[in-house]
């Protein structure tokens, strides 16, 4: 029996113009959670895709339980006990939980020459496995009715039902609430006790501390090293990832809020249980944070302000003048931009290039004689943003879907910087973004505020909310329950208002 469940030795992989992996190593012990960390574009997801044969590695060796393997597709990987819960889940929402779990391997019943799916057996099996990982869902429920975290749990149950010994979780908690994270961690801990290993990819240091046994760090496609988690400090992890010491997490707030820029009065949703009677002001040069727990309806309120949702009542005043926003186009015309929380759903245009994705919201700034696009000017804009946000890409023609998750987020941010709005709403702007790049994004936000723009930032990361907001509004159950700034802006005060039912 090998000491390691999985060994990857000297893995290299190039794409046109990028050496994504350069002789990377990874060794996973049985029954452990192994954190895989590195900046955006370091090569974490690519390494896992090589393991599963989704990408064909250029060189390197893979051993499972000491035995050399040549895995050419995910089915084969599963056959050897390796399963992956994807960064982008691709379940079939119209089908039941059981059907999703047994997709491609339905149990069948034979009636003479005819074969039919044995639903009863399938549901019974699914039920057993769901219970096995302590998720007592009804397997006949539609998968689409579950939350993202529950769908992830189903994916894990599916992996376990297929006898997986190593499960890859690639940024599994990026859209989960705190309680959901806890539920996920309980499943992980329970399976770990039963000998299952995990590769855990995340940018959240606190989570790594909570769950990981070992850690491997990558930088720019190279292998930096591996440690037992108790042998390396948080600062050291950051230093190894970034390649230099990072002293400050937040840049100084050098902007000074001025006159009122935007005023929202009595915004109420058409849905009773959504936001009701919300009023607030945003000043020029201000970063206004929005705190609250999940379900507080912050995103819904901002989407309504941006014209993506209907309201029964409410007024918007921009520079003291009443404006009407019925659709996002109205908001954009009035100089309001929004970076949405869910970049995959409403943000990225996967099959277009980076240049198209950056320029799409501001094309009319680049028209010559009102008809022809000035591509040179667009290229200039894109280059400028690629440099400013250090987007890791070979060139601006690269398809956005080929970028790493965090770099896609940076492209979306550039899109709105290019459009140069007076009011920019940012919903969880640093989700999936590594520590170094976060700092750059905060600097850009402060820079915009210094130019007199108003920024609204929804954030579920308490330190970020406190670290980069001039003032914080707090919501709970669809209502604005509090406002804090200066010395009052403390975690306790935010939590007090966030739980004021
Ligand atoms: N299919 C592809 N074609 C071209 N380049 C690619 C492709 N897939 C990945 N890359 C490049 O390989 C590098 C590593 O990307 P990868 O997705 O592995 O990063 P990551 O460490 O997972 O980052 P993140 O934390 O942002 O998710 C990036 O420069 C990326 O642009
Ligand atoms: Mg990734």
Top-confidence range, 2-16, 235-249, 363-377: 2-16
Which residue has the CA at smallest separation from atom 17 of ligand 1? 404
**Among all ligands shown, which has an atom nearest to the Cα of 403?**
1
Atom of ligand 1 nearest to the CA of 407: 26
Give the atom of ligand 1 at the shortest distance from the alpha carbon of 47: 18
The alpha carbon dihedral of 172, 173, 175, 181 has a sign of positive
Nearest residue (CA) to ligand 1, atom 3: 402
Out of 12, 13, 18, 21, mutate this one to test ligand 1's pocket (max ligand atoms within 8 Å of CB): namely 18
Give the number of the ligand closest to the Cα of residue 409: 1
- For 232-283, how does the pLDDT look when each residue is reduced to its tens digit (9 = 90+)? 999 899 889 988 777 778 999 999 999 999 999 999 999 888 999 999 999 9
Give the residue from 308, 318, 301 showing the smallest Cα distance to 453.
318
| Nearest protein CA to atom 31 of ligand 1, as residue | 403
CA 393 / ligand 2 centre spacing (Å): 14
Ligand nearest to the CA of 406: 1
Centroid of chain to Cα 168: 16
How far apart CA 341 and CA 346 sit, in angstroms, is 8
d(CA 352, CA 361): 14
Q: Which atom of ligand 1 is nearest to the CA of 434?
A: 25
Ligand nearest to the CA of 433: 1
pLDDT digits (tens, 9 = 90+) for 151-200: 888 888 888 888 899 999 988 776 677 777 888 898 899 999 999 999 99
Q: Cα angle vertex 282, ends 277, 286, to 5°? A: 150
- Residue whose Cα lies nearest atom 27 of ligand 1: it is 405
Enumerate residues lining ligand 1, CB below 6 A.
Answer: 15, 18, 20, 38, 40-46, 392-393, 402-407
Domains identified in the chain and CATH numbers: 6-242 (3.40.50.300), 250-335+422-501 (3.40.50.300), 346-420 (no CATH)
What is the whole-number distance in angstroms between the Cα of residue 42 and the centre of ligand 1? 7
pTM of the model: 0.77
Identity of the highest mean pLDDT range in 85-94, 372-381, 492-501:
492-501
């Amino acid at each position: 029996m090998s000491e390691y469940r999985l060994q990857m030795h000297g893995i290299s992989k190039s794409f046109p113009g990028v050496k994504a992996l350069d002789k990377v190593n990874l060794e996973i012990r049985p029954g452990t959670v192994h954190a895989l960390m590195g900046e955006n574009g370091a090569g974490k997801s690519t390494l896992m895709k090589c393991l599963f044969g989704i990408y064909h590695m250029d060189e390197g060796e893979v051993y499972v339980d000491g035995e050399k393997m040549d895995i050419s597709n995910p089915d084969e990987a599963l056959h050897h006990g390796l399963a992956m819960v994807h960064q982008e889940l691709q379940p079939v929402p119209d089908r039941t939980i059981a059907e999703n779990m047994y997709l491609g391997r339905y149990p069948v019943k034979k009636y003479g020459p005819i074969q039919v799916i044995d639903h009863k057996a399938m549901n019974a099996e699914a039920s057993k496995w769901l219970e096995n990982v302590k998720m007592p869902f009804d397997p006949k429920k539609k998968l689409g009715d579950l939350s993202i975290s529950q769908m992830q749990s189903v994916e894990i149950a599916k992996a376990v039902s297929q006898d997986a010994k190593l499960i890859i979780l690639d940024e599994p908690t990026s859209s989960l609430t705190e309680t959901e994270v806890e539920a996920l961690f309980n499943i992980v801990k329970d399976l770990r006790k039963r000998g299952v290993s995990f590769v855990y990819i995340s940018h959240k240091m606190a989570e790594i501390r909570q769950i990981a046994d070992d850690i491997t760090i990558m930088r720019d496609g190279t292998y930096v090293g591996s440690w037992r988690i108790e042998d390396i400090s948080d600062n050291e992890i950051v230093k190894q990832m970034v390649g230099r010491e990072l002293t400050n997490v937040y840049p100084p707030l050098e902007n000074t809020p001025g006159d009122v820029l935007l005023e929202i009065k009595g915004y109420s949703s058409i849905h009773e249980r959504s936001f009701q009677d919300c009023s607030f002001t945003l000043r020029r040069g201000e970063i206004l944070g929005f705190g609250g727990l999940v379900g507080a309806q912050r995103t819904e309120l901002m989407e309504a302000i941006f014209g993506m949702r209907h309201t029964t009542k409410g007024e918007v005043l921009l520079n003291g003048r009443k404006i009407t926003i019925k659709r996002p186009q109205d908001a954009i015309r009035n100089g309001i931009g929004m970076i949405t929380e869910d970049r995959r759903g409403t943000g990225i245009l996967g099959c277009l290039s980076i240049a198209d994705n950056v320029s799409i919201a501001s094309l009319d700034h680049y028209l010559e004689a009102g008809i022809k696009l000035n591509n040179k000017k667009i290229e200039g804009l894109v280059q400028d943003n690629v440099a400013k946000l250090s987007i890791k890409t070979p060139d601006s023609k690269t398809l956005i879907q080929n970028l790493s998750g965090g770099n896609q987020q940076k492209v979306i941010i550039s899109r709105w910087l290019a459009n140069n709005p007076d009011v920019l709403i940012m919903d969880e702007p640093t989700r999936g973004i590594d520590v170094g790049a976060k700092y750059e994004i905060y600097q850009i936000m402060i820079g915009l505020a210094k130019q007199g723009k108003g920024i609204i930032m929804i954030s579920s990361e308490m330190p970020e909310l406190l670290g980069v907001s001039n003032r914080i509004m707090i919501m709970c159950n669809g209502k604005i329950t509090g406002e804090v700034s200066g010395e009052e802006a403390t975690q306790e005060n935010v939590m007090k208002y966030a739980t004021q039912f």
